Amino acid sequence: MKTEKVDVLVIGAGPAGTVAASIINKAGFKVKIVEKMKFPRFVIGESLLPRCMEALSEAGFVEAVKEKKFQEKYGAKFVKNGKICDYFFADQFTPGWNWTWQVPRAEFDKTLADTVEKMGVPVNYETTVTDIKFNGTDSVTTVEDIEGNKTNIEARFIVDGSGYGRVIPKLFNLDKPSDLAPRRTLFTHVVDKKRSMDDEPNRITIIVHQKGIWIWVIPFSNGNTSVGFVGDPEFFKQYQGTNEEQWRTLIASQPYLAERMKDVEMVFEPRILESWSTTSSTFYGEGFVLTGNVTEFLDPVFSSGVTLATVSSQMAAKLVIRKLNGETIDWDKEYTEPMMQGVNTFRSYVMAWYEGTLDTIFFADKPNLEIKNMICSVLAGYVWDTTNPYVKNHDTALVKLAKLINIEKALAEN
Ligand SMILES: Cc1cc2nc3c(=O)[nH]c(=O)nc-3n(C[C@H](O)[C@H](O)[C@H](O)COP(=O)(O)OP(=O)(O)OC[C@H]3O[C@@H](n4cnc5c(N)ncnc54)[C@H](O)[C@@H]3O)c2cc1C
State pLDDT tens for residues 313-335.
999 999 999 999 999 999 999 99
> Residue 16 C-alpha to ligand 1 middle, in angstroms?
8
Instruction: Name the amino acid, one letter, at 58.
Output: E
- From the CB of 129, is ligand 1 less than 6 Å away? yes
pLDDT at 278: 82
Helix axes 369-379, 337-355, angle to 10 degrees: 120
Report the alpha-carbon distance of residue 183 to residue 299 in Å, rounded: 8
pLDDT at 414: 81
Q: What is the pLDDT of residues 70-119, one digit of tens each?
A: 999 999 999 999 999 999 999 999 999 999 999 999 999 999 999 999 99
- From the CB of 342, is ligand 1 less than 6 Å away? no
Q: 61 pLDDT exceeds 90?
A: yes
pTM: 0.97
CB burial string 111-128: b at 16+ within 10 A, e below: bbbebbeebebebbbebb
pLDDT at 178: 84
> Residue 14 C-alpha to ligand 1 middle, in angstroms?
7
Using H for helix, E for strand and C for coil, what is the string for 84-110? EEEEEHHHCCCCCCCCEEECCHHHHHH
Q: What is the pLDDT of residues 117-147, one digit of tens each?
A: 999 999 999 999 999 999 999 999 999 999 9
Residues 6+ apart with CB under 8 A from 5: 30, 153, 154, 155
Report the alpha-carbon distance of residue 392 to residue 104 in Å, rounded: 33
Secondary element (H or E) of residue 379? helix 369-379
Using pLDDT thresholds of 50, 70 and 90, give the confidence band for residue 172. very high
Q: 52 pLDDT exceeds 90?
A: yes
pLDDT at 324: 98
Instruction: Evaluate whether 146 touches 57 at the Cβ level (below 8 Å).
Output: no
For the CA of 297, the nearest atom of ligand 1: 19
Nearest-CA residue for ligand 1 atom 5 is 45
Q: 276 pLDDT exceeds 90?
A: no
Strands 2-11 and 31-34: parallel
**Average confidence (pLDDT) over 243-253:** 98
Q: 216 pLDDT exceeds 90?
A: yes
Using pLDDT thresholds of 50, 70 and 90, give the confidence band for residue 23. very high
What percentage of the chain has pLDDT greater than the value 90? 93
Instruction: Evaluate whether 128 touches 111 at the Cβ level (below 8 Å).
Output: no
Tell me which residue of 369, 188, 370, 350 sits closest to 267, measured CA to CA.
Answer: 188
- From the CB of 185, is ligand 1 less than 6 Å away? yes
Q: Report CA-CA distances (Å) from 227 to 71, 147, 148, 169, 313.
A: 15, 37, 38, 31, 28
Q: Tell whether omega for the bond before 40 is within 30 degrees of 0, i.e. cis.
A: yes
Task: Give 244: exposed, middle or buried? Use CB within 10 Å, 0-12, 13-18, 19+.
Answer: middle
Angle in degrees, CA 278, 283, 285, rounded to 5: 135
pLDDT at 294: 93
**Average confidence (pLDDT) over 345-354:** 96
pLDDT at 386: 97
pLDDT at 277: 79
Q: 179 pLDDT exceeds 90?
A: no
- From the CB of 229, is ligand 1 less than 6 Å away? no
pLDDT at 55: 98
pLDDT at 296: 85
